[in-house]
Each structure stands twice: as structure tokens, then as C-alpha cells.
Amino acid sequence: MDFENSKIEQARTEHEILLEDPKTAKKRRRADKRRRRKYKFSDKHHSVTGIVFTILTVPALACIVLALVLATMQKGQGSRIVGWLPFAALLISSAGIIGTALSFRRTDTIYTFSWTGLISHIVIWLFVAFILVIGL
């Protein structure tokens, strides 16, 4: 019964919209567009492990940048630290890939940070692996 009543109400409002003057109809369409753009509220939260491992990309990037800066300052004759910094970035990225992959197990969470962390750690890992392969 409710379904039929809602159909009748919907037909009434559609009929009223057709009978409105053009200015009022335009305002109604604009208000409907604004109403559609509103946020949907849910019980989902961001994954804490995804956030932590996304933040962990900063030290990995810092290790790579620091290694590149030290290598250029020493004109290619870098010390051991220039070799160990990318290795540390590789270890951090490996841990980040595993951690963010495990963060996808949780249900009812928003995976934005998990995806961001996973992609950034994969890019860092591939970059360091590429540099190591070139260096061999």
C-alpha cells in the first residue's frame, strides 16, 4: 500500500513541477543538484594501519633523497651510508607493502589511505630495485 501511495505522491510532484513557471522549475532543479552533491554519512572509518603505513612513506623517501644528495655531494665516490640508505628505504617499503596489504582485510573501512600507502610503497620499492639492478 505504501508503494502505491509513494507512486501517487511522486506523480503529483512531477505534475506540479510541469505546471510551474520556468523560473521556479529552474530553481528547483538547481536545489535538486545541490541535494544530490551532499555527503553520505556512514559508519565507516579510515584504516589506522593504512594511515600509519602511508605516513611511513616519508622516511623511505627521505632515505632515497638523502642518498642522492650525499652521492652528488661526494661526486659519485660515496661512502657506505650512501649504499645503506636506499637499502633502508627498500626495507621500509617492503614493510609498508606488507602492512598496507594486511590493512585490506578489515571490513567496513575506507581504503583511501591503504591504497595510497600501497601504491607509494610499490613505487619506492621498484625505484630502489631499479637503481640496485643498474648498479650491478
**Radius of gyration, alpha carbons of the chain:** 27
- CB 78 within 8 Å of CB 71: yes
Residue-wise pLDDT for 84-134, tens only, equals: 999 999 999 999 999 999 988 888 888 889 999 999 999 999 999 998 888
- Domain positions in the chain: 2-36, 45-135
C-alpha to C-alpha distances, 114 to 32, 59, 64, 123, nearest whole angstrom: 34, 17, 22, 14
**pLDDT for residue 94:** 94
